[in-house]
Structure 1
Amino acid sequence: MPVIAVPGWPRVRPGPYPGHRAAAPGLPCNGRELRGAGVVTGGSLLSGRNGGHAAGFEHELIEQMCAVSGLDAPGGRDLLIDMLAGRLPELANVRRHSRKRHDILEIFQACWRKPSGLSVLADTLQEYDPGSIPVLRIVELVSASPVLAVLPEAEIRRARSLLSRLPHPDPQGLLYAAAGDLPLPARPVATLQEAFDFLADANARPDGLLPVLVLVEHAIAAGAASGADRQVVDGLRSWNDEQGTRLDLVEPLETLRSQITRGVAEPAPACLVVQLSKHGMSPDEYLLSHWRQRRPGSWRPERGEDQIVALGEVEAAVEQLVESVEEDWGEHPGRPVLEFVLPLQLLNHPVEWLPMASHSSSATALCLDFPVALRSLERMRARRYHRRWRNRWQQMTAGPRILCHWDTTGERGHDPVRWNSTLAADERLVSVALNAPPLTGPEGRQETLEAALRAGVPLAVWDRRPAPPGDFRKRVDKLLKGTAAELPERVRQLRTEAATAAAAQRDAHSGRHLAVLLDNPNRMVDWSEHPASEPGSVRGGHNDEGTS
């Protein structure tokens, strides 16, 4: 069956961010005065260090509110206040006057003082008088408004000083996690201080949190996980708590802290995820689905159009997808990653060696350009194992090293019950190394991998050859030495060594045959409504008859 054509992908280019504008006349250029506790939401980023609203913002917004149909009557203003109080209960106590303009001034000032108040006001007015010219103008004003100066200079200096004492191997990753939809800097940041400075003029998120507070929260979690200076970590936590209390952001800050603790808010790289699942009656027919994460940041992959392919057509389909998504990735430097979500029966296929530019004499393998990882389709769909999976992922990402549970199948004295029990009882064991491929090796290897997946192990490695080489354990020990964050790049380097070795040594190199299943539970893509009850039982998003 021929590959179903993939339609051309539209380029998504965000329009100009309205917060990029000059400072208002008469405002200090550093924009660091404390002006109440108001924050304008909307995700804009100032192009300099210009604080405060553009001249006339308050005046025009109030004038437009006065022009909204219905607000000239006391009952209309009562209705607006009731609607606002549904989202901001404090506004139920807004002081009332007998004159329209005075009431509107009170409503505006009450919203101004709340971190997300102006956005709530704009949203509520869209419900109150949808499509009217004054309301459309209010929405435009609020969404285009630059950030207010909410952090005093002394607090800025204090945070920067603490961050300078907290070394981190990936400040760019923390910037991505905190930036959300903000435009990214043209050049990567080298320190947490630079990341802080870049975000210092950013508007609040929809939940009211300033991106600098989000950055500091990620830095706190990273510092605590890496064993950084306790005084520095505690100092940053106190700083964030103080800002959250002062800006009335305690609840969203606690929510963010919980998300980071669970790993949900961890930064994700630009990524292409390719999934193969069994389709139809033919044993060689698969549904190829894919998702693309267009830029680093929070995990928000976009699903593309599915294809029905035979195994022999996967190579061409993947090459076409990579060429397409490179159009999006080309706007920023960095190293995107490729992930293959595969059923058990396909995990031994060397997908990392699929070629790019396959019709050219200069064809190269995927793994030379991208870190490539395998993922388990069955476990992604088996929610009953996700708690253990998340627990071990958290253990792995927080630890200074990766503890491995070595397969003993086929060895003298092998006790499968003891091996499985040890793995289940010790969540510090976050990886397994199989001493034969899970499908083509001696009986028991597939069961070993399935047991590891059920236990929530996020990392599994094996050599795809029938018997591993003598230096297999040494190679794996070297690969697992260091943090989990660095593992994908270490794997890529090993495969690069294999690809660039002398011709006589190339095929024998361990990097040419090493399979790495690195499965992040916080990067879910498969929303199948047919979750498996056991790893190994699900064959895809469609059943054998091809119906969903």
Structure 2
Amino acid sequence: MGWFTVPADAPPADARGALVRVVHGGTARTAGAGVQLAARSLLTCAHVVNIALGRRPLSPGDPGPVRLEVAFPALSPAPAVRARLAAWVAPRAADGAGPVPDGALEWAGDLAVLELDEPPPAPVRPLPWADMATGQEVRAWYGGGQPFTYADVRVGACDGRVGYLDGQLSGAAVEEGYSGGPLWSLRDAAAVGLVMGRITAPGGAFSAQHTVRRSWGVTRQAIEAELTRVGAGGLLHPDRTRDGVAFPEDGGLRDMLAGPVQALLGVPAERAVHATALAAELGLRTPGDGSAPTVEELATVLYTVERALPTLTESVARTVTERGARAELDRLLALGRLVEAGGLLSAAEHRKLLAKLTDLTTHDPGLLPRAAAAALPFVALPAPLHGARLSASAVPAVLRALETWTGDCSSVPHETPRLPALLRVVEYVAAEVGGLVGEVLREWSTRVAQRLGVHPSALDERRADAARWAARTASAGACVLVELTRHTDDLPDRYRCAVWRVRDDGTAARTGPRDDRPLTDAEVARLVRAVASGAEGPGQGVPMVAVAVGPDGLQLPVDEWDGAEPGELYPAPLGEDFLVVLRCPRVRRHSRTAGHDLSRRWEARRRTGPLIADERITSDRELMGLLKTTHRDQGSVVVHGPPKHRAQLLNVCLFMGVPIVLWDREAEDHRQAARLEPSRPSGPLEELPERVRHFRVRAHMDPAQTARPALVWEDAGLPLPDELRLADPGAAAGG
């Protein structure tokens, strides 16, 4: 394989090519090490992140989307760059139950994925990975990256989760600052795990019976399982683009590929042009003397180097004009499905799409899951797409999985290839985001489809499907606005009620009686039920009943008020038949900026998952600080805890203009937080009111279910009662 070679200035053939230094916040000290996984994703230990933040090393609490300083000391003189915590696997006891006990020598979990704010500097690149096994000779480096800090150890025992590492008495030992760094197998030329900790002798006089230079690391197998559990699986994979000069031989596959290569690039000069362009994309070196590789050499690269085959076809497709040449190109693409290293996308296509999807996912974590679910309704999606939100660090794994799937089942003209599943997902993403970004994605998929020989009508059909999906409107039914007030001389269980029905054009009309007399909860429920049921049209979804209350009314069980008429056989709680949500504008009026805050947070609500206000948030001031800084655009909060503490946090949310707040009004302490899980607070946000309604129906049927979810849903586009009175003070009832 003399024509294609690895550049002499390629990164060193060990793990220092991907070694990361994690910097202790506010200092120049090294907190620990890490390793680049893919694109902008880095892997380290959770306890290294804790050390960098000045926290207790084995603290299990997720610190949230904090940012750390990291560097690539072995290869790049560039200063430290910023990276965001994207996935957290908390340190836990070795048996998997509870936090790590004080003084423990071994534990589980303890991983963190970081996401760089910008691409890593050249020539940093990901590592190949392999399974850890007993007997491997492995090497580790200090996080500072100095060449002399290497520590050579042997895997003395490995149970698939943990490997115990024994070092010789000469040379460097694995110490603090090595944690989080890769364990590089010299024999396999691959990383097999991460440095996790060391096993030290107990205090007191040293004995010959004590362990000397024994450390331990977590295996690649365990890392993959832990990351998959938190939705970041698939990041550990071999990087075949620079496997070295040794290209493995497979004569049968090489001969099959050589046929269409010869037909397309039989002229040496043309073969030299395309092979040189291919090598430039793959990071390989060519002679530069005008010579061309043999057909066999080129065919060997196509089945051994990742993305070589689609990259070559991208180059050749630009020059194909004759029908016979197109047929040979299609033949080469068909053979590419047999090539494990081939892939669907060329190096350039993959690079552009990965960058775009990573950026879109950073700003809207729910975009790719909902687009994929709509585009591929009958496909078992990759594990990271099972949730409502996707971490940007998981995008490479998702993209890799989608590339492997075949096209959809629609018929295609003239036996042309089916549209690949990945392109269909991209079309749905493009339709959802719209604008210039959508056009860029559509142009990308058009070029890829043309290279693959997909008939334009097949792409147009799926593009039209995507446009119809993006133009969907939520199957929400009518909306009824309710205001509940009390006068100081009213009886405790009486409420004055005003009701408006929102018209199709967004305006609202006052309806119901106008005598303003105090009503019982049953009378209020019957009035609301009559208006909401009358507003519901055929084919519409469940009507929403938005009830405006004062701060003292947030705990009213309005959803349980029975709207059944006298003589009806069964009760009719409002929360079973309607999407009953609360509004409390009075608290917001005490803040000069809350109106702007509400609009901003409402617009950003789909880009942020819920902020869980549990025992980790100990005061209202702490929550306010989060909503002013790292969660400035937070659109939804789930509040847990005892009633008094919960009321304080709820008040902060409303004061700061958070439009969506969910809590269990019957919860007594933080231990009951799990009772809200059936409503899936982290699921698709627009469906939350309906999920809460389902929860209420089940809770009313099951006496053992004591949770009672309450939901503030402050749609920034809905008018407030005061605005309605000022706009239409004399509207006729039922207008």
Q: TM-score range by the shorter chain?
A: 0.3 to 0.5
- Which structure carries more relative contact order (alpha carbon 8 Å, separation 6+)? 1
More helix by share: 1
After TM superposition, the score normalised by the length of structure 1 is 0.43
Structure with the higher fraction of residues in strand conformation: 2
Which structure would you say has the larger Rg? Answer: 2
Under a length normalisation based on structure 2, what TM-score does the superposition of the two structures give? 0.33
